[in-house]
Structure 1
Amino acid sequence: MIEPFANDHQSMQIGDLVIENQQDKIIIYGDIDLTFDELGYKQAQQLHELSGKIVQAFEEENLYSKNSAKSKENDDQLDKNIDNPFL
Structure 2
Amino acid sequence: MNNKIINPFKNESECLQIGSLTVENRIDRVSIYGSIDITRDKEGLAVARELKSILDLTLTELESAELPDKVTQKPAKIVKNPFE
TM over 0.5: yes
Aligned residue pairs total 73
CA RMSD of aligned residues (A): 2.0
Structure 2: 5+ residue stretches without partners: 78-84
Residue in structure 1 matching 2:68, options 57, 65, 68: 65
Query: After superposition, what is the alpha-carbon deviation per residue over 1:20-48, rounded to whole angstroms, capped at 9, x for unaligned?
Result: 00000111110000001111000000111
TM-score, length-normalised on structure 1?
Answer: 0.74
Counterpart of 1:83 in structure 2 is none
Aligned to 1:82: none
Structure 1 vs Structure 2: percent identity of aligned residues?
Answer: 32
Give the C-alpha shift of residue 59 in structure 1: 0.9
SS of aligned partner of 1:52 = helix
Taking the aligned partners of 1:13 and 1:30, their CA distance within structure 2 comes to: 9
Displaced runs of 4 or more, over 3 A: none
Q: Is 1:30 aligned with 2:11?
A: no
Compare CA radii of gyration and give the structure with the larger one. 1
Specify every segment of 5 or more residues in structure 1 that has no aligned partner in the other structure, as ranges: 79-87
Change in Cα spacing, 1:7 to 1:71, as seen in structure 2 (3 Å) is: same
